Amino acid sequence: MKLNRLELDEATAARFAQLPLECIEREYPNNNQYWFDSDEDIKPPRELTPAFYGCLDWHSAVHAHWLLARLARYFPNASFTPIVKEMLVRSLTSEKIQGEIAHFQRLPLFECPYGLVWLLQLAAELHEWNDAQAKEWLAVLKPLEELVAFNLQRWLEELEVPNRTGTHDQTAFALGLALDWARITARANFVILVENKARKFYLNDQNYPLQFEPLGYDFLSPCLAEADLMRRVLPSAVFADWLSEFLPQLPVEDAPNWLQPATVTNPQDYMQSHFHGLNLSRAWMLEGIICGLPSDDRRVVALRYAALVHRQNGLGNVASEHYASSHWLGTFAVYLTTARGLREQIV
């Protein structure tokens, strides 16, 4: 079965862009975790993190900016692009980024690793975007990019055991995004660090119990995120052998029911809505795994089918009426539909 990749048209992109445009400057409700040493530290989110304070939490605000940058880059002449650029102009100012830097100087591991790698993805998007205004934003963001990269590197150097859950603290997903940023920005030492940690943490994994997923209210698959990371690290033939040991239960023929999308019965529940994101992230991770395998690998048919089913289910549930998912789900939809992480080239 051929994987018919959805083409992201301008109308769909406009709908995805509207989701963050409605919440980037919406300060409340707010669900960040801050460390307070005194009354002086108790401030509104817009004062604690002045560039990224909306969209319920810091990491969602950051990747909402990534979404807008990504879509403006993809659709430079779209009707929504001037509005998107104006929002980026308002957020990415030297004064606001200095406020973010002050926050991280006090709390170096705030939002580590999930939020930090999304900040690096935002930086990577600006690095790759051949646009004069994007270069100006990159220059403004650069000091925060460097500080976040430094903090993440120190954290990773000291990390001895990976987090294998399916939410924000998961190590494999973070390493995948960090590795992509490091390669885009030619950070050779960072690339080596991530690759070495990936091999240390995951190279000897075998017989993963995929039937136990999802765990709790995952929005990332621990299993597929690990495989999606390792296809970035290992040569294709070596990755194929590793995958045979890691997931020996993968079918080698058309098996349409081997991995079904997670079901959401209450989309207004902030935790249950994670499953919509899980279906989207499963889709892009399955596509990543396919890209890492030799083209004649017998498991590709079943992987393609599961990727398509999860893609269709996930994209069908990207809606604006429930803030539980609308404040973040557009990012996962854009990451999937623009094939981020699959080394595509965009001018």
**pLDDT value, residue 6:** 43
Residues 103, 33: Cα–Cα separation, whole Å? 13
- Check residues 132 and 40 and name the one with the higher pLDDT: 132
pLDDT given for residue 36 in this prediction? 87
HSE-up (13 A, CA, CB side) for residue 152 = 29
The tens digit of pLDDT for each residue in 180-226 reads: 999 999 999 999 999 999 999 999 999 999 999 999 999 999 999 99
Ordered by where they begin, the domains of the chain are: 10-337 (1.50.10)
241 Cβ partners below 8 Å, 6+ apart?
none
Mean pLDDT, the chain, rounded, equals 94
pLDDT score of 254 more than 50: yes
Over the stretch 287-318, which tens digit does the pLDDT of each residue have?
999 999 999 999 999 999 999 999 999 999 99
Per residue in 248-281, is it b (16+ CB within 10 Å) or e — as a string? eebbeeeeeeebebbebeebeebebbbbbbbbbb
pLDDT of 33: 87
Q: How many other CB atoms are found less than 10 A from the CB of residue 33?
A: 9
Considering the entire predicted model, what is its pTM?
0.95
Residue 343 has pLDDT above 80, yes or no: no
